[in-house]
Amino acid sequence: MLKIGVFISGHGFGHGTRTCAILKEITNLIPCDFDIFSNLPTWFFKQNLSSLNFTLYHIKTDIGLVQKTPFLHDLHQTVKQLKEFVRFDSKDFIFCEQLVRRKKHNLLISDISPLGLEVGFKTGVPNVLIENFTWDWIYQSYTETASDFIPIIEVLEKSYSYANLRIKLTPFCDSKTRSIKTPPVSREVIHTPEEIRKKLKIEAEMKVILITTGGITKRFDLLDKMKRQKDVVFITSGDIQKTILDENIIFIPMKSEFHYPDLVNAVNLVAGKAGYGTIAECWSTNTPLIGCYRANFRESEVLLDFASKELEHHKLTVDDFEKMDWMDTALSTMKDLHEKSPKKTNGTLLASESIRNFILKEDFLHKFCSSL
């Protein structure tokens, strides 16, 4: 059984969802034992990796952008935290390095985490980088107004150069570096729309909209306006303990029995924050999207371009989203369930096979793989 360390950015759930999809597929190809380093919550991994052998270590593997709200970030605080982080000498870094040495990992996988790549370089363990962007690329757009990013970018460029295998997931932001390029990666649908609607007690012919803020909980002043839409059921998630029905609104806990791709597949439209995970799961299930995109964030242009070309899609401003000035657009964009034909192509298998092939060609791993 191979020992693989996995470093996952906690900057939203999209990095976690796609990496979990890849890890599950890897175990179908090669038996693995995973050590996961991330500051995403424990329940998230229990929910998405329940069938895998893994140990979770709560480690912040990157800084990303310090968020004020789901749509706004704080550049001053981001720089302040990055200056300490990129020294790569913190207690967390030392802990990760020592653990990788002690457990003798065969491979490290990082989803945009420079910390994982630095640990791999320091310990000599081969590195795989999964990304649709890297933080040095993101920070470049802020250098004119915040020159403190320049030396940070130089450090991170070096960190990302330590990747022995680079896998870019569509929609990706920069195609210059040599890499394997895959279609969008998303989690599998498990239950049918009919099963999900029955469990939620939603009539089969009812129109349903899933409201998302990309895994970042925020209370929107939408309830009254939602309740006026008597012919539509709204599903939203938040920090609650159990599923609650309030007229035509269904509140689902972030930690729930429902597999999120199943919800995306069971609705007529998704509305809200458009990050990688949301766009990939709408694409894979052929679900229309009304999306809000973070301003002054370089990835947003790439995501918007992909969604506009590959989805039934409309862009919203955050202000319009919160005012709910989009119901007419939503009603004209929705697809009936019988019109949705999920994509048969998913980048998960290609990414996983690429990692498997990389493992098998490494001479020092042949002794671990000869019996497979």
List, in order, residues 6 or more apart from 332 with CB less than 8 Å away. none
pLDDT of residue 238: 78
- Same structural domain, 257 and 118: no
145 pLDDT above the threshold of 60: yes
pLDDT in tens, 41-91: 999 999 999 999 999 999 999 999 998 877 788 999 999 999 999 999 999
- Whether the CB-CB separation of 4 and 35 falls below 8 Å is answered with yes
Query: Which uninterrupted H or E stretch holds 56?
Result: strand 54-58
pLDDT at 369 over 70: no
One domain for residues 42 and 59? yes
Q: Is residue 271 within 8 Å of 211, Cβ to Cβ? A: yes
Q: Are 15 and 155 part of one and the same domain?
A: yes
Residue 287's domain comprises 193-339
User: Are 241 and 279 within one domain?
Assistant: yes
* Same domain assignment for residues 331 and 301: yes
Q: Is the pLDDT of residue 104 over 50?
A: yes
Specify whether 72 is located in the same domain as 197. Answer: no
> 173 with 30, same domain?
yes
CATH number for position 72: 3.40.50.2000
Q: What pLDDT does 342 receive?
A: 76
Residues 168 and 244 in one domain: no
Quick check: 237 pLDDT over 80?
yes
The pTM assigned to this predicted structure is 0.92
**How many structural domains is the chain composed of?**
2
Query: What pLDDT was estimated at residue 155?
Result: 98
Report the Cα 94 to chain-centroid distance in Å.
26
What residues have CB less than 8 Å from 319, skipping those under 6 apart? none
* 245 and 156 in a common domain: no
pLDDT value of residue 61: 97
For residues 78 and 224, membership in a common domain is answered with no
CA distance 238 to 296: 26
**305 is written with which tokens?**
């371009």
Contact 65, 11 (CB under 8 A): yes
CA distance linking residue 253 with residue 269, whole number of Å: 20
What tokens does 40 get? 């995403």
Residues 137 and 171 in one domain: yes
pLDDT at residue 367, rounded to an integer: 47
Residues 238, 134: one domain? no
| The pLDDT of residue 294 is above 70 | yes
Closest by CA to 273, choosing from 29, 30, 11, 5, is 11
